[in-house]
Amino acid sequence: MGQLPSTIGQTTTTTGESGGWTVLCTQLHRQGLMDDETYAADQKFGKSLSQKTMAGYHSWSIPLAKTMSESKLLTKILAPVILLWAKEMRRQVDGIGKGSLIGKVLMAIGVPLCAWLGKKPRRRIVRCSV
């Protein structure tokens, strides 16, 4: 049936211009779907988060961003939601724009959830094929 991804449950950092603070917004920015100003605000926001929150975020966002880089359909489905989060995040960081109610809800749930995930011990999943 295939192999399980080896990144599940591991904390990793991204490379490139963002320095590892941003993952999903980096993917949208690389694909030309996020403007430079929102992307810069996203980097500022990421730097303000605790290491455990970033570890929790990276535990699921890195595999998702990799899949988005390989699937334009997945990117097309997720981009509107990620951009609503980013719109609200930019309003909070830079005071620019109106933000969005959905973005506020996503942040109110997402940041604590990522912090909680970041507290969890990381398990390494062994690759297996069936």
| Nearest residue to 6 (alpha-carbon basis) of 53, 56, 63 | 63
Q: Where are the domains of the chain?
A: 24-119
Nearest to 83 by CA among 46, 33, 44, 40: 33
Q: Quick one: tokens of 24?
A: 């999903």
Residues 24, 42: Cα–Cα separation, whole Å: 10
- pLDDT tens sequence across 2-57: 333 333 333 333 333 334 568 999 999 999 999 999 999 999 999 999 999 999 99
